[in-house]
Copies of this chain bind each other. A is one copy, B any other.
Amino acid sequence: MKIIAVDPFYLRMPEITDAADGTQDTLLVRVRTDAGIEGWGECDASPLVSIAAYCCPMSHGNIINIRNSLIGETLDSPEDVLRLSGKVLRNGLDIQQIQHAYSGTEIALWDIIGKKLEKPVYLFLAEMSGTSDIAHPKLPYASVLFGDTPEDTYQIAVGLREQGYRAAKFGWGPMGKFGAKNDIALVHAAREGMGTDAQIMIYAGVVWGTDYETAYNRAEAFAEFSPTWLEEPLAPDAIDAYGSLTKKNPRVPIAAGEGSNTYRMAEDMIVHGGVQFVQIDTGRIGGIMPSFQVRQLAEQRGVQYVNHTFKSHLSLAAALHVFATNPDFNLLEYPAAGSELSQRIVKNPFKVDPDGMVRVNDLPGLGVQVDTDAIRPYLVPVNIHVGTETVFQNAFL
């Protein structure tokens, strides 16, 4: 097959706020081949900045856009995906946004290969790495924002419990902004609302920057409520501070890694940051293969790999293929309060099975179907003119 089109689509809700809700807009990428097979992927990234990486004029041999690297290329095998990823990243060496922007395409390339060869993506990863090809169920944890107060947080937690969630992550909002007493009250409320038998995770939203002492003190203070982890207490690139924090062995394990824009950043966080859970966003790090490489590193080093997913179930599918075959990596971030847009992107979202678990779809490719009719109303037309040239306008969705 030859790649004939690589089309990013900017979708958004009518109103966008500065809340830490990543589902208010999104960037989908559709890749088409001359064999009539198409694949889809989703980026967790700025849609406009990422679109620019698909259409920017060449600056020199290290700034060549993603479309120019891919159109006309051959795509017949998993090896072709790796080869094309190498080409895109080499040609985009001096485009800082390249991994964010390319992630959706890389995922779409796997989707195509899976459809063509009639296999789910996780089986290619198993074959290429010589590891188990048996997929295991994951325990989904709801990923929600803290309420503005402990009382609101309690109500949110009760609601999640009533929906049947056995695990939930609470993040952002007031956490870290109004002192230790309020922080502790928030965690207490989350635990009370979810009940003693549930898992709760606390997401601090990079609020303490490089202040690992405060992060340590909070981790210790939260320990009585037994959270599974304290997530991103520090800035994504404050690796030394993470190292100092984890060396103090707080009673609550530390999780981080969603800010990994490259494999190396994740490796740095694992090896030098010393985190116990590494959270990778397949829609930021460059797609499925670099995520899988982080999973392998986590396996080598006794760290638990977890997906970071705060987009649609298209992203969730990509994330799930990466670590479906490792039974010890048993937690799945499962967006539970996403926008209407994010809930309409796929026709066959992942259901929580009666046993409370989520399973990868054993269908060709990613195993989810994008609902173009449902998302068309959210499409944002984008036109970019450089000099006398129109370098970008939307394809037909």
Taking the complex as formed, is A134 at the interface, i.e. its CB lies under 8 A from any CB of chain B? no
Interface residues as binary, A240-282 with B (CB distance below 8 Å gives 1, 0 otherwise): 1000000000000000000101111001100010000000000
- In the complex, what residues of B have CB within 8 A of residue A240's CB? 267
| Residue on B nearest A384 in the bound complex, by CB | B384
Of B19, B236, B380, the contact of A386 (CB 8 Å cutoff)? B380
B48 near A386 with CB under 8 A, answer yes
Of B25, B60, B268, B272, the contact of A20 (CB 8 Å cutoff)? B60
Taking the complex as formed, is A337 at the interface, i.e. its CB lies under 8 A from any CB of chain B? no
Number of residues from A at the complex interface, CB < 8 A: 63
Taking the complex as formed, is A49 at the interface, i.e. its CB lies under 8 A from any CB of chain B? yes
Which residues of A pack against B, CB within 8 Å?
10, 12, 16-22, 24-25, 44-49, 51-53, 55-64, 93-101, 206, 236-240, 259, 261-264, 267-268, 272, 284, 380-387, 391
Of B18, B49, B57, the contact of A95 (CB 8 Å cutoff)? B49
| Interface class of chain A by DSSP | loop
Q: Could you say how many copies of this chain the assembly holds?
A: 2
CA distance A55 to B382 in the complex (A): 13
CA distance A49 to B267 in the complex (A): 27
> How far apart are A53's CB and chain B's nearest CB, in angstroms?
5
- In the complex, what residues of B have CB within 8 A of residue A98's CB? 96
A-B contacts, 17 listed (Cβ < 8 Å):
A12-B59, A16-B58, A16-B59, A17-B60, A19-B60, A20-B62, A46-B94, A47-B56, A49-B49, A49-B52, A49-B56, A49-B96, A96-B97, A96-B284, A382-B386, A383-B383, A384-B384
- In the complex, what residues of B have CB within 8 A of residue A16's CB? 57-60
Of B18, B99, B237, the contact of A262 (CB 8 Å cutoff)? B237
A385 near B383 with CB under 8 A, answer yes
**3 closest A-B pairs by CB:** A48-B56, A237-B264, A97-B97
- In the complex, what residues of B have CB within 8 A of residue A12's CB? 57, 59
Given contacts A46-B52, A46-B95, A237-B264, contact A58 B18 (CB under 8 A): yes
- In the complex, what residues of B have CB within 8 A of residue A238's CB? 264
- In the complex, what residues of B have CB within 8 A of residue A60's CB? 16-22, 24
- In the complex, what residues of B have CB within 8 A of residue A380's CB? 386-387
- In the complex, what residues of B have CB within 8 A of residue A262's CB? 237
- In the complex, what residues of B have CB within 8 A of residue A382's CB? 384-386
> How far apart are A148's CB and chain B's nearest CB, in angstroms?
15
- In the complex, what residues of B have CB within 8 A of residue A48's CB? 52, 55-57, 384, 386, 391
B268 near A264 with CB under 8 A, answer yes
CA distance A93 to B209 in the complex (A): 12
- In the complex, what residues of B have CB within 8 A of residue A261's CB? 96
Of B18, B45, B96, B264, the contact of A100 (CB 8 Å cutoff)? B96
B22 near A47 with CB under 8 A, answer no
CA distance A35 to B387 in the complex (A): 32
